[in-house]
Amino acid sequence: MTRTAQAKGTSARDRLLALAEVAVLEKGFAATSIDELIAGAGITKSGFFYHFKDKSELAKALMQRYVEEHNGVLAGIFTRADELNDDPLHGLLVGLKLFAEMLANLPEAHPGCLAAAFCYQDQLFNKKVRDLNAEGILRWRRRFRERFEKIAEKYPPRGPVDLEALSDMAASNVEGGLILGRVLKDVTILPRQIMLYRELVRATFLPTA
């Protein structure tokens, strides 16, 4: 079932957001029209403006939804990982493996990253939307930085390491993996990138045998 079809059973606002996300990922925000969204959602133009006063407000709602959804997915994965292993390093390694497995088991290729789509066209958005986008990335940084600081206390790195850069590498690996996967039509690239990052983390903190 397509995301558009799935959206039919939800509220008009949720249908508009789901349709807008698909359209933005396929062709960009500028090329996504209000008319196509209201047609897809099965509502009138006044119905659109009941939920969003303009396209800028739609962009803000899209980004808020994206940040919260993805933060929730990560939180769920790493909470589960910590339930399985209370060691900070091994909990992270388990979490990264669970994340890679989740992506590998998607029924179709990942549709892409809304944060990247908005970044590429950031001149179209106001400061609130740009700040929301930045906050989404900073959440990744904080999540991994806090974990790496705990890990470093128990497992001092084998050499000098910039923990903030190592934290940012989690987001950059995902973004890069999404781009490579889409360009090369290879759904295995993103989970493989995550597993390679996992091995880098292991090698950074665990002593050699």
pLDDT digits (tens, 9 = 90+) for 18-28: 999 999 999 99
pLDDT digits (tens, 9 = 90+) for 161-184: 999 999 999 999 999 998 898 889
pLDDT classification of 7: cutoffs 50, 70, 90: very low
Q: Both tokens of residue 209?
A: 């045998």
- Please list, in sequence order, all residues whose beta carbon lies within 8 angstroms of the beta carbon of residue 154, skipping any fewer than 6 positions away: 87, 88, 89
- Please list, in sequence order, all residues whose beta carbon lies within 8 angstroms of the beta carbon of residue 119, skipping any fewer than 6 positions away: 133
| CA dist., res. 85 & res. 208, Å (int) | 21
Provide the pLDDT for residue 209: 56
Residue closest to 132 by CA, chosen among 73, 74, 64: 64
For 176-197, b/e burial (b = at least 16 CB within 10 A) is ebbeebbeeeeeebbbbbbbeb
Size of the chain in residues: 209
**What percentage of the chain carries pLDDT values higher than 90?**
76
Provide the pLDDT for residue 6: 43
Identity (one letter) of the amino acid at 118? F
C-alpha distances (whole Å) from 182 to each of 64, 112, 114, 190, 194 are 24, 8, 14, 10, 16
- Please list, in sequence order, all residues whose beta carbon lies within 8 angstroms of the beta carbon of residue 164, skipping any fewer than 6 positions away: 141, 145
Provide the pLDDT for residue 10: 75
Q: What is the pTM of this model?
A: 0.85
| CA dist., res. 96 & res. 47, Å (int) | 42
Biggest CA pair distance of the chain? 66
C-beta of residue 201 within 8 angstroms of C-beta of residue 92: yes
pLDDT digits (tens, 9 = 90+) for 26-58: 999 999 999 999 999 999 999 999 999 999 999
pLDDT > 60? residue 3: no
C-alpha distances (whole Å) from 209 to each of 44, 51, 67, 200 are 66, 59, 40, 15
Question: What number is the average pLDDT over the span 66-81?
Answer: 93
Provide the pLDDT for residue 120: 85
C-beta of residue 66 within 8 angstroms of C-beta of residue 140: no
Provide the pLDDT for residue 115: 87
